Chains A and B, each alone.
Chain A
Amino acid sequence: MTLDTKITIPDTLFLQTVDDEIILLDTNTQEYFALNEVGSIIWNILEEEKNLRKVHQIILDMYEIDEKQVESDILKFIESLKEKKLILVD
């Protein structure tokens, strides 16, 4: 997986924010998940942009963090979502 991998958020996934925590409900399995702080930042941008490279760039513009570290965080997060079948990856 790279920052150029195409990501789709399925329409069977619902989202709620409770006390600043993002909670996702997968209506296919009825399971729900809470995102951690890093995950929430990535998810919020991903929902708008639907493009990992843009997510990467926006995070770099927002925070003073190492470029490689951001890339690794994004890919790890996307991998964990994919494993839980919360996103579709081309």
Chain B
Amino acid sequence: MTLYGFEVSEEASNSYDSTNRFTLIEDETSSIKLSYTLDLHNNQHREISLQSDQPFKKIKKKQTIKFIVKDVVTFTWIVGEKKVYYVLNKLGSKELLKYWFYHTLSPLLLTFENTYFFLHAGGVEIDEKAILFVADSFGGKSTLTDFFIKKGHLMISDDKIGTYEENGKIISVPSYPYHRPYRKVEDLGKELENFASKKREIYTIFNLVKSDQESEIKITKAIGIEKFKVLKYATDIDLSVHQELQFKSIGNIANKVKVYDITIPWKIERQEEVYQAIISFIKMKDK
């Protein structure tokens, strides 16, 4: 399967390695403790943390990092390599291994390597263009992404999207092939058939602004600090590592991608209207 643009495989030995493939290798020695610890927040009711042999402030190539989900699984990898060693703990299972690797560790690993800058966003394709949705918590991002999927649009991700710059353009990577239009802890979601397959320039980011049930659907351009704030809030991995780089990445996206606020009437029956407003807006922008 493809995850954030990389193949994933599970190998019994560590003989295989490739920069285009994550290889998961079971290894009992993965439980050795390292000197530096960074506790992480999560909403999956688990204690999670990172450990490293060097400080976290500036992640360097060849730095050893562990990602620990207490009592479930411990992963170890060396920055710059795609081989990831793991050991399952007393509450661990293959399903939980997959969840934590796919959902949380891979984006962390790719962020630490500076491969991508991750946005906490839903994303779909409209007329072969990458359109992203960002919102506050419970702001309707997943619901709107789900509505577009049901209308037959390809999904880029319903939660987090890897982005990078290429030839002065900000590109989104088909990131996460699972779709979860519900809330359940440690659940990958359903693997989706109409998952996008191409990396595309981000055409527009919509910032969903929750509004009254009867409110008008308005689309307005965000500029300057307001645009910056939207993207800062939508930063998926907001750790005290790579701070300068992260700040630059947000500024870079802000300067290269158009961001629009769209008011979303908080009424499920009006989703079709929101959908049509976005489609019309994209078509009008094309002209």
**Residues of B with C-beta under 8 A to A32:** 225, 228, 232
Tell me the nearest residue of chain A to B232, going by C-beta.
A32
Q: Does B264 contact A (CB under 8 A)?
A: no
How far apart are A17's CB and chain B's nearest CB, in angstroms? 7
Which of chain B's residues have a CB closer than 8 A to the CB of A18? 223-225, 227-228, 251, 254-255
Among B58-66, B166-174, B240-248, B266-274, the one that faces the other chain is: B240-248
Identify which of A14, A17, A18 gathers the most chain B CB atoms within 10 Å of its CB: A18
Given A14-B244, A16-B228, A32-B228: A23 in contact with B223 (beta carbons within 8 A):
no
Contact between chains at B243 and A27 (CB < 8 Å): yes
A17 to B251, CA, bound (A): 7
User: Does residue A21 face the partner (Cβ distance < 8 Å to B)?
Assistant: yes
- Proximity string of chain A (39-78) to chain B, C-beta cutoff 8 Å, 1 when within and 0 when not: 0000000000000000000000000000000000000000
The reply to whether A34 and B243 form a contact with Cβ atoms under 8 Å apart is: no
B243 cross-chain contacts in A, Cβ below 8 A: 14, 25, 27
Size of the chain B interface, CB-CB below 8 angstroms: 14
CB proximity to A under 8 Å, residues B229-253: 232, 243-244, 247-248, 250-251
- A16-B225 in contact (CB<8A): no
Q: Which residues of A contact B (CB under 8 A)?
A: 14, 16-21, 23, 25, 27, 32, 34
User: 8 A–B contact pairs at CB < 8 A?
Assistant: A14-B244, A14-B247, A17-B255, A18-B224, A18-B251, A19-B254, A27-B243, A32-B225
- The 4 A-B pairs at the shortest CB distance, nearest first, are namely A16-B251, A34-B225, A21-B224, A18-B254
